[in-house]
Structure 1
Amino acid sequence: MVEEMNNRIIKLRQALQELISQKDNLLDPKVIAASQELDEVLNEYNKLLKELKK
């Protein structure tokens, strides 16, 4: 599960970086949506890591 989420985070980061380079505008709705999606997955990942440490 952790490895899957880590791979998803890597893919989302790459997609976000590509969008930023294409749009040249951090306020573009697609860039914001991609950033929010990455944030959600990072939050889930951190929550999972905390639970596994218990």
Structure 2
Amino acid sequence: MSEAEDLLKDIETLREQLENTIKQKQENLINFEVISVSRMLNSLLNKYNETIK
């Protein structure tokens, strides 16, 4: 599997984790856990964008 494909799998997993965390925190988007997962997802998205260039 290519690096881009691996990143896409990780991105999908983190996206689902972010959705679940938001629900658990009653849609409080400034909650520390929500922000933390969001930052991790953002980092992976940036890495994916660099990989496909």
TM-score when normalising by structure 2 = 0.92
Instruction: Answer with 1 or 2: which has the greater Rg.
Output: 1
Structure 1: gaps spanning 5 or more residues: none
Q: Please give the alpha-carbon distance, in whole angstroms, between the structure 1 residues aligned to 2:7 and 2:42.
A: 12
Larger proportion of helix? 1
The count of aligned residue pairs is 50
Deviations along 1:1-54, one digit per CA (max 9) or x if unpaired, are 11100000000000000000010211000000000000000000000001xxxx
Structure 2: gaps spanning 5 or more residues: none
Q: Which residue matches 1:16?
A: 18
Identity %: 38
Runs of 4+ in 1 over 2 A off after TM superposition: none
Across the aligned residues of Structure 1 and Structure 2, the Cα RMSD in angstroms comes to 0.4
Does residue 1:27 correspond to 2:21, yes or no?
Answer: no
Q: Please give the alpha-carbon distance, in whole angstroms, between the structure 1 residues aligned to 2:38 and 2:5.
A: 21
